[in-house]
Each structure stands twice: as C-alpha cells, then as structure tokens.
Structure 1
Amino acid sequence: MKKQVSITKAVKYVINSTDEKHTLLGIGPMSENFLRASLEISKEKDFPLMYIASRNQVDAYKFGGGYVFHADQKKFRDKIEAICEEIGYDNAYYLCRDHGGPWQRDKERNDHLPEAEAMEIAKESYKEDILNGFDLLHIDPTKDPDEMCKVVDIDVVFNRTIELIEYCEQVRKEYGIEKEIAYEVGTEETSGGLTSLDTYEGFIKRIKEYTEEHNLPMPIFIVGQTGTLTRLTKNVGHFNYENSKTLSEVAKKYGVGLKEHNGDYLSEAKLLAHLPLGITAMNVAPAFGTIETRALLELLDVEDKFAELGQIKDPSNLREALTHDSIYSMKWKKWLTDEVDMSNLEALDDATKLQITELCGHYTFSNDDVAKEIDKLYENLAAIKIDGKRFVIEKLKEEMEKHVRCFNMEGLTTKIMNTEA
C-alpha cells in the first residue's frame, strides 16, 4: 500500500533538515519500463518519487494526449497504480505536472494561439490533472509563441501565475477535493526572466504577499537557474556553485525549496554538491530516455550476432524503425547544438543518425511501428534465454541508483514519516 506522506511534508523536511542533507529527485516518465524501474528502486531504497510529466508527455486527449504510451492523466495514473499492485509497492510517489501553462504543448506554440485561448486550454489541462489526483502543479506561464518575445515580462508572468493558481484552487473546492495541491512556480530559462537574483527574490516575495493576503497556498518550489543546460546527450551548461547556494538561501528565507531543472547528464561530483548547496530538488528527464534507447541498441547488437549464428531466424527491424522515427519526429530541434547539421535529413551520416536516435528515441517508443519491433526484439531474445526487458529495466535502475546515492535519499520516506506533521 502506498505510504501517505504529502509532498509538502516531504519538501519541508528536506528544506529544514539540519542533521542530514537530502535532495529530492523529479523524474520524467519516459516509458512504461522506466515507471517500473523507478517504482522498484523506490521500494528497495525507501525514498519518495516525483513523476514530472510535461504536457507533451501526458495530457488530456482533447488536446492530443501524450507521447508516453499515448497517455492522458487517467491512463498515466492507472498505469502507475497497476505496476504498484503488481510489485507490491509500499512507498510514496507523487504525480506532478511539469511546465503546465499556456503554449506549453508544442502544437499550441506552433499554432500561435491567442493568449485567451492558450490560457483557457492551460486551465482545462490543470483541471484534468486535479481530477486525476495530481499532487504538484508547475505553474509556468513563461512561454510565448511570438519568436520576437524571448523573455516574457515579469509582471505578466506574475499575473498569469496568480490567475492559474486561483483557478486551480477554485476547481479543487468546486469538486470537493480535500487533498492539498502543491504548487511550483518559475522556470529555468537561461536569460532574462528570473535569472537575476533581485528579480528572483522579488518574485518570491510578491507571490508570498499575494497568497497570504488572498488565502491561497504558497508554492513549495521555485525554479532557479543554477547554470545547467541540456543539449544533445550531455549537459553543456556551467553549474554555478555560488549562484546555487545564494538561490537556495533566498528560497529558504521564504519557506520554499529551490527546484533545479535540466539536471540531466551531470557528473557525480556535481550531484554530490547539491547537498551542501541546499538544492531541495532536481529534475531529470531526457537522460533516462537516452539510457533506455542505448540499452535497446545494445540488445540489437546481441540480436544481430545471434542472427549471424543462425539462432535467430527473423531479426527485428527495430534499429531502422527507431532511427527513422527519431529523425522525422523533429523533436531534436529542442536539444541540438549548432555543430550538428540537420539541413538535409536524407543525407545524414551514420554518426549523426546514431546521435539523433540516442537523443530522440524515447519520443518514438509508443509509435506503432517502433513498439511492434521492440516486442519482436524481446521475443527473439527470449527464445535464446535472454530477458531483454529486464536488461533495460536494470540499466535504468543503475542510473537512478546513482542519484539515490548522491542525493542521500535511501531511507528518506521513513525519516519523513517519523517527523511530526
């Protein structure tokens, strides 16, 4: 049975802990394999999970659903609950909306929806989150379809943030939902916005004053820019120790936790630094997708060898399907650097194709052609006594275990439960 520990209590424990330091981990739900891997290691190591689903990953079907096993909020919740029941999960996990808000789906931004329509869609999406038991909502109204508008004015961000929090609280009360909903505000943009320390503190102060005056919940997280920046399959940012320490101290002064985004591909040395710097939580998403894609490619190498030996008669076509769908997904646009030339997709060399596949493979796992070939790969390997799915799951658990160790999360749920409410 899932342990009843509120996300607010978990965050407050981490913020105020003095004897030991801990950092929480938010993880992108990249696939069903990753859900299983994360739930297994959470049960084994006794720490709470935060599933941070973007609107592109999980959303209402009226807005197109999500690329993660074609899930809306209900299917996402039900899938997790089914795995929990299957493995006898007895820890704590939280359903979290990552980057909710207007224009946060690629299509809405590409269609240049007017603000009123984009805000209405954002509200409807949040409503589905709330009705399906989400614990944390990231209120991020910092996107704008106008390519000339690189940074949304901070007053506009504040006003949209308040409007969305008020709406979510109205929905919660209207539907008689007694469970507290926690909020996260801010964004990880690397220029303008909340990157100035003065603006960062001023924003928190304005939020605190408004929520207290209008009897609204104070957000438990504020996102701060620590210098991380994910491009391709590495972190090309410059992690700023001094800035991170200052941001965490400012956030703590107002009783909120510093949330770091873009924590993918950081070295263990930088992960360990999160504890003394007081970073309350960090998000990781595409890195786990890359781990799973690379694991599948390793299994394909095994399949190839045994096909050569004649022990696999009909090898899968997964490598070709994965590569093709990754390239033509166009998802690489968000993660590429200028050094990669994608001007002619038909003429890419093998090295670039592999790079794009490792980068974007996870976006395609639920595509019919890719899913069919993944199943065929597993079947072929099972015939020669190799459990391919378990190999992938264990690879994902190995990557998660690194974060559990560096963030001192083992045993954390029990520690939180043993504190006074």
Structure 2
Amino acid sequence: MDYILKRVDELSEQDGINRTIFAACPNSISVIKAALRSAKRWNSPVKFATTLNQVDIDRGYTNLNQKEFFNTIKLEADRLNVEVPVIVAVDHGGPWLKDLHTIEKWSFERSFEAVKKSFEASVSGCYDLIHVDPTIDITLPSGQLIAIETVAARTLDLIEHTENFRRKGGFPRMAYEVGTEEVHGGLADMSTFRKFLDLLQKGLSDRGLKDVWPCLVVGKVGTDLHTTTFDPNVAKELTKVAREYGSVIKGHYSDGVTNPEAYPLSGMGGANVGPEFTISEYDGLMELEKLEIQYFNSGKIARCSDIGVILYQAVVHSGRWKKWIQSGEDAANFESIRSERKEWLISTGCRYIWQNAEVLAARAQLYSNLENRGIQAEGIVLSNIECAMDKYFAAFNLKNLNDLL
C-alpha cells in the first residue's frame, strides 16, 4: 500500500493525473468476486477493507476468519488469473466498533484486548494493512466525544502491540491507516486533526517506532451512511495537512456519492465503498426472482425459491436493521416503518444474513432454477455489483494503473 501510494504521487507529477485507490468493503462472497473481476478488467489495484463485524476470529457475518478470508480472495484471484495488486486490510479496528462489543456492553479492557487479538490474527493471516480506529468510548456520558489525547494514546498502544507481534513472528511489513470513525465524530476540525497527527508522530518516536507511519488518515469529507455529497474543499484542506506528515487522506462511506470524480481532483488517496454493493447484490437477486416467477407461471419451473420473502424475514429476524433506525421510527415494530425505508433497511441489511442457512438454500434454488433454463444467474448478480464498482474505477482514474506501477 505504501509503495502504490508513493508511485501514484510520482505518476501525478509526471502526467498531471491524480488517482484515488478504490477499496471495496467485502460484505459477501459475491462482492469479493465482483471486485476482483472489475479490478482485472480495469487493470487496476483493488483494496479489500473488511470490518471486524465481517471477518474476525469468530468468523463474523461472512463466516470467515482472517486466514480464511485471505485464502478466499487468493483462490478466487488465482481462478480469474488476476495479476493486479490486491490489498487485504482491516477496516475500523478499535474497541466497540465490533457490534457484539457494544450490544453486550463489554468493558474497555475486554474490548481492547479482543481488538489486539484480532490484529494478531490479521497479521498472521497475511493482511497488508490495518486501520487503527479507537475513536469511540461507550463508557462516556451520552453526547460526550472521546478526548483526542485518548484517541492518540490508544492508537499508539494498538500500533505498538501489532508491531511487536509482527516483528517477533517475522511477518512482513504492515501498513497502517488511522483516524476517525465518521459516525461517532473525532477528527472534526483542523486543529484537532493536526494535534492528533502531532501526538502520533511524537508517540511513535518515543516508542522506538520512527519507521512506522500511517500511509492513510481517514478524513471527515462530508460523506456518511445517509449523505452522498463529497466536500472537495474540506478534502483539499485535509489533504494539504496530511501530506505535511507524509500521509494521504482516505474517505469512508463513499457509497452512492454524487461527485466521485472530485476525489482524485481533491488529492484523496483512497475511498471505501461497501453497503452500496449489498444493495446492488440484492437488486440483482430481485431481478432474477422476477425471471424465476415468469418461468414458474409458464410451467417451466417446478418450485420457486421465494428468495425475496426469505431475505425479508431473515433481515427482520436478525434485528440488525435496528442499528440504522431513524428518529420517529419504531425499533420494536418493523412493519410500522414507511415502505421506502423498509426497502432500504432490507436491501442494505442483507449483508448481515447472506450466510444464513435458509438464505444460502434459497439462493442455490434460485440459481439452479434459472441455470436449468439457460440463464447465467450468478453472472447477472456479479455484473450488477460490477456495474456499481465501475463508476469508481472510472472516476478515480484507475484504468491501466497496474501497467504504470
């Protein structure tokens, strides 16, 4: 990751083209496949940024631990003969950023130690980068943000622990990403932003880690789960400051952003996209279900998969939709929520239940029904996800970047 970002800078000086590295949040096997297919077509590097909710020692909701996740990517890349760089990374690694820790109200000590173990598994699982993000604290009074000094100290503790583990085990060099989790606040203004980087710089030096510096710093650039407008002016300001320290800015929640072309123009080093691809996968399945029903009605299929109903029931039963409830909505009564919001909650909430047994069975039935009629069912779903990804590869100026690296 460090090398790619450095090379992108060199290329920008040569050809005047800024580039932003695309990172997919791999919330399903389909997203992994689609991202590798897209990266191969665009001849561009791709980064997988996975949260501890998705992949962890307990396997997360993808049902993969760190080593299994890496091997899944590697085997699929080998199958597709992918020759572009593929970066495997932890996204938002910090106490209480794994839903289980928050739901069960784990103590700081317990959550922090769990994160350390997760980072160890990521290092030994051949990951390339870890996003260290201790920017929330559920023990604080409601509305009180965590002190930036605490964020810096916990960031340093996690980096130091990871580096000690990596070096002792003889594992390859690790890249780091640091910064705020936008939903919960944190590095929200320039003075706080600079202070954090100053504290990090001094702390790494004091701990004998001068050779370790995060290549990426997450910036609050106007996007979150419910907004789709990237703020290029803020991004340029953050980028200018970050470059003084030798880092570039990374944007999160870039899903459905209305102005993706502004990312490279603003000097953004990278951007994460995730829930959007779950919606694309869901839409692809709903397209297939329409075909399935048509075949069933004409007597060409014996039994429908009922994929739509099964997905609906699985998301509602999971309760994970409650995480995204808005003011005025009843978390105790899903059916009371207005239709368009229910559709969004189902389509984005599917990422939590793709690996449920009943969902896997329904998808297998759907694919089998249509493939028996000559329809390339999985290909249609993957194409739907790839279509969503293509706009980012294009807007981020990534075409044929691999040839220039």
Give the TM-score, by structure 1 length.
0.90
CA distance in 1, matches of 2:342, 2:186: 35
Q: Which amino acid is the alignment partner of residue 238 of structure 2?
A: L
Match of 1:264 among 248, 255, 258: 255
Aligned sequence identity (%): 29
Q: Which amino acid is the alignment partner of residue 150 of structure 2?
A: V
CA distance in 2, matches of 1:249, 1:160: 25
Cα offset, 1:192, TM superposition: 4.8
- 1:190-216 deviations in Å (ceiling 9; x for gaps): 575210111101211221233244234
Q: Do structure 1's residue 84 and structure 2's residue 68 form an aligned pair?
A: no
Match of 1:245 among 212, 232, 236: 236
Which residue does the alignment assign to 1:111?
104
Match of 2:136 among 125, 133, 143: 143
Q: Do structure 1's residue 153 and structure 2's residue 147 form an aligned pair?
A: yes
Which residue does the alignment assign to 2:224?
229
1:4-403 aligned at under 5 Å gives the runs 7-16=1-10, 17-18=12-13, 19=15, 20-61=17-58, 65-68=59-62, 70-146=63-139, 148-149=141-142, 150-177=144-171, 179-189=172-182, 192-213=185-206, 214-216=208-210, 217-231=212-226, 236=227, 238-267=229-258, 270-338=259-327, 340-345=329-334, 351-403=340-392
CA distance in 2, matches of 1:140, 1:60: 18
Taking a change above 3 Å as real, the CA distance of residues 106 and 356 of structure 1, as seen in their structure-2 partners, is: same
Cα offset, 1:15, TM superposition: 4.1
CA distance in 1, matches of 2:183, 2:76: 37
Query: Greater CA deviation, 119-128 or 213-222?
Result: 213-222
Query: How many matched pairs?
Result: 399
CA distance in 2, matches of 1:85, 1:241: 38
Taking a change above 3 Å as real, the CA distance of residues 191 and 198 of structure 1, as seen in their structure-2 partners, is: farther
Query: Greater CA deviation, 369-378 or 273-282?
Result: 273-282
Q: Which amino acid is the alignment partner of residue 137 of structure 2?
A: D
Q: Which amino acid is the alignment partner of residue 389 of structure 1?
A: E
Q: Which amino acid is the alignment partner of residue 23 of structure 1?
A: T
Which residue does the alignment assign to 1:419?
none
Gaps of 5+ in 1: 1-6, 417-421
Cα offset, 1:348, TM superposition: 5.5
Taking a change above 3 Å as real, the CA distance of residues 156 and 184 of structure 1, as seen in their structure-2 partners, is: same
Q: Which amino acid is the alignment partner of residue 159 of structure 2?
A: I
SS of the residue corresponding to residue 151 of structure 1 reads coil
CA distance in 1, matches of 2:131, 2:319: 26
SS of the residue corresponding to residue 98 of structure 1 reads strand
CA distance in 1, matches of 2:225, 2:9: 26
CA distance in 2, matches of 1:353, 1:260: 27
Q: Does the aligned pair in 1 maintain the 2:182–2:224 contact within 8 Å?
A: no
CA distance in 2, matches of 1:335, 1:346: 15
Give the TM-score, by structure 2 length.
0.94
CA distance in 1, matches of 2:301, 2:375: 12
CA distance in 2, matches of 1:192, 1:391: 38
Q: Which amino acid is the alignment partner of residue 275 of structure 2?
A: P
CA distance in 2, matches of 1:193, 1:76: 30
CA distance in 2, matches of 1:230, 1:352: 14
Q: Does the aligned pair in 2 maintain the 1:113–1:145 contact within 8 Å?
A: no
Taking a change above 3 Å as real, the CA distance of residues 162 and 348 of structure 1, as seen in their structure-2 partners, is: closer
CA distance in 1, matches of 2:299, 2:140: 55
Gaps of 5+ in 2: none
SS of the residue corresponding to residue 260 of structure 2 reads helix
Compute the RMSD of aligned alpha carbons: 1.8
Q: Does the aligned pair in 2 maintain the 1:100–1:122 contact within 8 Å?
A: yes
Taking a change above 3 Å as real, the CA distance of residues 414 and 148 of structure 1, as seen in their structure-2 partners, is: same
